[in-house]
Amino acid sequence: MVASVQGRVKLLRSGGNSELGRSRSIGEVSGTHPPASSRLCFQVTKRRQANVRREDKDARAIIYNVGRGDKDARAIIYNVGRWDENAKAIIYFAKANINRQLHYNPNETIYFLEEDIKQGTEMNLDLSKEANGVTFLPRTVAQSMPFSSNEFPKILNRFSVKPNSAEAKIMKKTIEVCTEMPAFKGEQKYCATSLESMIDFCTSVLGKRVKALSTELEKETQLRKYSVVGFKKIGGGEVAVCHMLKYPYAVFSCHNVHSTKVYMVSLEGAEGGGTKAKGVAVCHTDTAAWSPNFEAFQMLNVKPGTVPICHILPEDNIVWLPN
């Protein structure tokens, strides 16, 4: 089973040197999966955006609303002090959501409606890999590697990375995502540093019989206009999604997701060359509890709980389904 899954993911074990993958947005969590960041209770304002540019460490929108006497915001801050995991998750993803909106490319199709999955629909997609040239380590080797903020100087030394370099910042962000990023209630989160550990997590939440799917590109390309030429529903309900993070070797941030429909969408380049791709689309069918300020609703001009919200995962993200 391990061999077959490894073939699907297109990641090979290697004992050789690996280099950090380059990404569209340095320091951001890979992937575009929205559920965790969708339960935010704030609106982005110019004042909050200015604070983001100053790299304010707090969740600017929530702090701002506390000053305005917002009872919900005050409750969130209070619960953070009491180590409430769900409150900490809201704070963490509030910061991430503001940052994404600042770097949003209006020409890119990040989210779309389920009804758009039909022949002839055109989408501007960047499905390329989030990280290039990195490979899984065997479990025993990965477990022997230091992987914590306290051991960060040792990690940099091990990979001969300069402390103030861009590579160091990327590595630090990945470690923070894996060791500090909280999960919402009802969601399980795990960082896999080997193929075996990824399979162990996914089978623990989905059962022993699982299958892995990922987006496939005919050739590597950046943002490109595609037309939908075919589609097939391949599963739904509870699934697990693993987003590749940027690190010297393969590290995936995995979490389970409820209330989904999963499609394999056949795509063909709409402009010159006719590049073909098979994209794994995840549609979230229950968005009633999501914040109305979440970016997908603003982009699509819809309200929470009214229609499924869909997105296609990049090439090196993986969806696991019960088989």
Q: Which of 132-141, 182-191, 232-241, 278-287 has the lowest mean pLDDT?
A: 182-191
Looking at the fold, whether 10 and 101 belong to one and the same domain comes out as: no
Domain identity same for 45 and 14 = no
CA distances from 193 to 6, 44, 146, 231, 315 (A): 14, 35, 11, 32, 18
Write the CA distances from 7 to 1, 184, 286, 298, 319, integer angstroms: 10, 32, 33, 38, 14
pLDDT one-digit tens code per residue, 149-168: 999 999 999 999 999 999 99
Same domain for 200 and 300: yes
Which pLDDT band holds residue 197 (cuts at 50, 70, 90)?
very high
**Domain range spanning residue 214?**
2-20+111-136+186-322
| Same-domain pairing of 200 and 216 | yes
**Residue in 84, 183, 193 with CA at minimum distance from that of residue 134:** 193
- Examine residue 167 and state whether it is found in any structural domain, yes or no: no
Taking the C-alpha atoms of 197, 246, 311 and 305 in order, what is their torsion angle to the nearest 10 degrees? Answer: 70
Residue 162 in domain: no
- Residue 166: inside a domain, yes or no? no
Query: How much of the chain exceeds pLDDT 70, in percent?
Result: 65
pLDDT of residue 111: 92
In a shared domain, residues 94 and 117: no
Contacting residues for 40 by C-beta, under 8 A, at least 6 apart: 61, 90, 93, 94, 97, 291, 293, 294
Q: Residue 8 has what pLDDT?
A: 47
Lowest-pLDDT range, 25-34, 169-178, 243-252? Answer: 25-34
Q: What is the pLDDT of residues 1-23, one digit of tens each?
A: 444 444 444 443 444 444 443 33
Residue 72 has a pLDDT of 59
Asked if 259 and 283 sit in the same domain, the reply is yes
Q: Which residue has the higher pLDDT, 248 or 10?
A: 248
Residue 229, amino acid: V
Residue ending a domain, among 105, 123, 152, is 105
247 within domain boundaries: yes
56 and 121 inside one domain: no
The total domain count for the chain is 2
Q: Is residue 170 part of a domain?
A: no
Q: Is residue 228 part of a domain?
A: yes
Whether 6 and 42 share a structural domain: no
Q: Check: CB of residue 236 under 8 Å from CB of residue 114.
A: no
Q: What is the pLDDT of residues 279-306, one digit of tens each?
A: 999 999 998 888 787 888 888 999 999 9
Q: Do 264 and 116 fall into the same domain?
A: yes
Q: Is residue 150 part of a domain?
A: no
Q: Please check whether residue 302 lies inside any domain of the structure.
A: yes
